[in-house]
Amino acid sequence: MSGLAITRLTVRFGGLTAVRDVGFTAAPGRILGLIGPNGAGKSTLLNCISGITRPSAGSIRLDGTELAGLSMHRIAARGIGRVFQHPELVAGFTALDTLRAGCHRDLHYGLLAELFALPAARRQEAAARHRALAALDAIGLAADADRDMALLPYGHRKLVDLARSLMAAPRFLLLDEPVAGLNDAEIDRLADMLRELRDVRGLGIVLVEHNMALVARLCDEVVVLDAGRVIAHDVPQAVLRDRAVMAAYLGEAPADA
């Protein structure tokens, strides 16, 4: 019951079946790697969990509650965080604005309080600003607070994006290729952050990643998708030795199959 349980999930786009009968459970306090060749259906699967794409069949349950069919913001409210492969920029947003936007669900003042900047609104905004600055400080980007997101180095942008999704204190975090485009130092920093989230905050993490070295050192278990199907689900060491997995990556049938 506990955890994020995917059962018999299928997603069709017209004639194409991007995800086929997929099932696995992500547990809190664990990092589950989701790997597979390009077009395997990894992002589609994350989009389904986040409510961006409607599944054609199957279920997604969080601690027993069905998420499939809910709208994005309801799913977010239940504790599913999402980080996109490429940071989604908002024109004119600074790093600080970006993180304050992540505080959205913690701000409870009404529209009237907002229109007239009543004390309730001011107080909560000040608290959000404070939290946002602290979060920037924690990822070592305090100096970027007032800089335009579009002008930040790509690696900083991705870190800010991750920090934003954490402002809402999710219980499960879905990450789509978080280290693509980062340099080695940035990858190490991000890996440390993810480990801490898992070990200290007890977050459940689903990590889509092509960087196998990172998958091997970070993940507690790995699910391999190929053409929408699960072809392996095991600890990283076993999965990365699996011939069928290697074959899927190399795009050829195993020699002895």
Partner 1 sequence: MTGRRLLLPLAAALLALPWGVGGYVTYLLTLTFIYALVAIGMNLLTGLAGQISLGHAAFFAIGAYATGLLTQRGLLPFPLALLAAALLSTGIGALAALPALRLRNLYLAIATLGFGTVVQKALFEWRGLTGGGAGLELAPPHIAGLVLNNGRALYYVALAVLALGLWCAGNVARMRTGRAMLMLRDSEIAAGTLGIGIARFRVAAFALSTFYAAIAGGLYAYLVRYINPESFGLGLSISFLGMVVVGGLGSRAGPVLGAVFFVLLPEAFRGIKDAPGLVFGLALVLAMIFLPRGLAGIAPRSWRLT
CB-wise, 16 or 112, nearer to Mg ion?
16
**Could you say which residues in the range 33-72 bind partner 1, by CB under 8 A?**
50-52, 71-72
Q: How far is the CB of 60 from ligand ATP (least distance, A)?
A: 15
Partner from ligand ATP, Mg ion, partner 1, none contacting 115, C-beta within 5 to 8 A by type: partner 1
Please choose which of ligand ATP, Mg ion, partner 1, none residue 166 contacts, taking the beta carbon within 5 to 8 angstroms, the exact cut-off set by kind: none
Query: Per CB under 8 A, does 8 bind partner 1?
Result: no
In whole angstroms, give the CA distance from residue 211 to residue 164. 23
* Contacting positions for ligand ATP (CB under 6 A): 13, 16, 18, 36, 38-44
The three-state DSSP-derived secondary structure of the chain is CCCEEEEEEEEEECCEEEEEEEEEEECCCCEEEEECCCCCCHHHHHHHHHCCCCCCEEEEEECCEECCCCCHHHHHHCCEEEECCCCCCCCCCEHHHHHHHHCHHHCCCCHHHHHCCCHHHHHHHHHHHHHHHHHHHHCCCHHHCCCEHHHCCHHHHHHHHHHHHHHCCCCEEEEECCCCCCCHHHHHHHHHHHHHHHHCCCCEEEEECCCHHHHHHHCCEEEEEECCEEEEEECHHHHHHCHHHHHHHHCCCCCCC
Nearest to 30 by CA among 190, 172, 188, 224: 172
81 binds partner 1 (CB under 8 A): yes
Q: Is 77 in the site for partner 1 (CB under 8 A)?
A: yes
Q: Which is nearer to ligand ATP, 13 or 169 (CB)?
A: 13
- Output 39 or 79, the one with its CB closest to ligand ATP: 39
Residue with smaller CB distance to partner 1, 168 or 247: 168
* Nearest to ligand ATP of 13, 196 (CB atom): 13
Cβ(173)–Cβ(206) below 8 Å: yes
| Near Mg ion in 25-84, by CB under 5 A | 43
Q: Which does 18 bind (CB under 5 to 8 A by kind): Mg ion, ligand ATP, partner 1, none?
A: ligand ATP
CB nearer to ligand ATP: pick between 141 and 214: 214
Which residues would be at the binding site for Mg ion (CB under 5 A)? 43
Which residues would be at the binding site for partner 1 (CB under 8 A)? 50-52, 71-73, 75-77, 80-82, 84, 88-93, 97, 100-102, 104-105, 107, 109, 111, 114-117, 121, 125, 164-165, 168
